[in-house]
Amino acid sequence: MHRPLTREAYSIGWICAIQIELAAALAVLDEVLPESPFGMIQGDSNLYYFGRIKNHDIVITCLPAGIMGIAPATMAATNMMRSFPNVRQGFVLMVGVGGGAPNLRDGHDIRLGDVVISQPNGPHPSVVQYDFGKAIERGQFLQIGQLDSPPRILLCTLSTLKARDPEDFGRTIREQAQQFGAEDQRFQCPQSPDYLFMADHFHVPDESLEESATCSRCDLTKAVARPERNANYPHFHYGTIASANQVMKDGVKRDMISEETGALCFEMEAAGLMNGFNCLVIRGICDYSDGHKNKSWQPYAALVAAIYTKELLKLIPEAVDPEDAFGRDNVVRAVKWLAADSPQEEYDTRISDTVDGTCRWILQRKEYKDWKTEDRGAQCLWMYGKAGTGKSVLAANIIKDIKDSTFPPCVFYFSIHESLAKRDPLSILQSWLSQLATTGSCAFKTLKSMREGNEERTIAVPKKGPSPTPARSFRADCGPE
């Protein structure tokens, strides 16, 4: 399993508002890390999930249970940037469910299970905050200011998706949704009918059932006549998404705002992300933003939006910093030039002949657990004892435990008391640098600068070497004094 080594490896953030959206996001990942590889940054209250789609490392968070709206979304994104600073240079995806705003007259035949993607459309921005402006005469609304558009790379990728045959693409999404639905029944496409009622026909609840469960008492003669779809696959709509701090549950108001803003969808978080963050909003349609709103379509709509997001990310090339694109061959040559001593043989010797359960006691000690945890405990774990009492075996088992964890890179060295070469500080530094150079470009850059103009390998200890994160990744067994 691929495990990013540093927080800086993450440049794509994925934000969800409710738990079913988070479940859908995790379901579509190609790889999911079983636990967080990093500790919490002070002041960041987000809980993060980590995964991978194609070549992209993705960090995901969800708003706290029961808390939705523009300000919480802004706080979640701000905290994400604090913990994963390269997301600011990359982009954030707000993915989940929303309420549709169909307009058959203008060709926007939006149905349950369709997907709306934020995109500028003529005079209309990609996202509009419809509760921020001026109410003027005749009930009209004057928008103040305009939110930023999604980043160019995402808009270009949308063009590629839009160029696909809509039926083929829709079937691809549907087939994936069916596969996920077979694995998790929550995500199966609902069998309940898809009714769009006239805007002025209010919902009539059935007192014997949950309000969200049925429109059995609503007047079906007030349902809007829509052309039959020949195939049951999601359609994709690109345009303005309307955002506010309140749930839209009024068909008349929905149509009025949609007419003024060009909105195809209503939701509650996007306006908090468009300014200050590179953001694209993707919403699966689970209702029609009216009083007939129900939650039965939420899981399927969340899944379809997540699958669309995955298809989008698969088209985006992996971001490569030219300074980091050093290539495996260059690393091998640089490490060979360094001619560092490898501690692997000593490690293998000490770990291979142990009985199952050996040294497990130290892994359960509070001192060890505190030291291993990034955000608490001392930086140094010091074990001391007489020669031949098992310190090296303990060190090897600690190394194995760290290697098996979702942890930053682990470098180590066995300093052998009987060998002068094995106790040489320069040899230890060379070995550490050699190991780090194969796991991250920061150490490679240091090694490269040492090598340039110094092909004869007369090495001086650098004044400032690579800065590993965290320092707990270093283990040294120094033997008896």
* pLDDT at 472 (0 to 100): 45
302 lies in the same domain as 397: no
C-alpha–C-alpha distance, residues 264 and 164, integer Å: 21
The residue among 23 and 341 whose pLDDT is bigger is 23
Tokens of 253: 């108001």
Q: Does residue 420 sit within a domain?
A: yes
Q: Are 161 and 234 in contact (CB under 8 A)?
A: no
- Percentage of residues in the chain having pLDDT higher than 90: 44
pLDDT tens-digit series, residues 272-326: 999 889 999 999 999 999 988 888 999 999 999 999 999 999 999 876 444 444 4
* pLDDT at 468 (0 to 100): 44
The residue among 468 and 304 whose pLDDT is bigger is 304
pLDDT tens-digit series, residues 91-124: 999 999 999 999 998 889 999 999 999 999 888 9
pTM of the model: 0.69
* pLDDT at 427 (0 to 100): 77
210 lies in the same domain as 183: yes
pLDDT tens-digit series, residues 37-60: 788 888 899 999 999 999 899 999
Is the pLDDT score of 133 beyond 50? yes
* pLDDT at 466 (0 to 100): 45
* pLDDT at 438 (0 to 100): 65
User: What domain range is 460 assigned to?
Assistant: 328-477
Preceding amide of 470 cis, omega within 30 = yes
Q: Does residue 85 sit within a domain?
A: yes
161 lies in the same domain as 79: yes
206 lies in the same domain as 160: yes
254 lies in the same domain as 282: yes
Beta bridge partner(s), residue 117: 238, 282
Is the pLDDT score of 265 beyond 90? yes
Pairing of β 12-16 and β 236-243: unpaired
Q: Does residue 365 sit within a domain?
A: yes
406 lies in the same domain as 463: yes
Q: Does residue 408 sit within a domain?
A: yes
Residue where a domain stops, chosen among 315, 350, 383 = 315
424 lies in the same domain as 291: no
Query: At which residue do the structure tokens 């709206």 appear?
Result: 69
Which residues neighbour 425 within 8 Å (Cβ) at sequence distance 6 or greater?
461
311 lies in the same domain as 332: no
C-alpha–C-alpha distance, residues 327 and 325, integer Å: 6
* pLDDT at 215 (0 to 100): 81
206: left (phi over 0), alpha (psi -120 to 50) or beta: beta
Q: What is the chain's mean pLDDT, rounded?
A: 82
Is the pLDDT score of 402 beyond 80? no
164 lies in the same domain as 225: yes
Q: How many domains does the chain have?
A: 2
Nearest to 62 by CA among 306, 266, 301: 306
Is the pLDDT score of 464 beyond 50? no
43 lies in the same domain as 88: yes
- Percentage of residues in the chain having pLDDT higher than 70: 77
Residue where a domain stops, chosen among 315, 336, 360 = 315
Q: Does residue 291 sit within a domain?
A: yes
| Positive or negative: CA dihedral 310, 313, 315, 320 | negative
Q: Does residue 323 sit within a domain?
A: no
Query: At which residue do the structure tokens 């779809």 appear?
Result: 229
Q: Does residue 390 sit within a domain?
A: yes
* pLDDT at 440 (0 to 100): 54
353 lies in the same domain as 242: no
25 lies in the same domain as 94: yes
* pLDDT at 236 (0 to 100): 97
Q: Are 271 and 69 in contact (CB under 8 A)?
A: no
Q: Does residue 471 sit within a domain?
A: yes
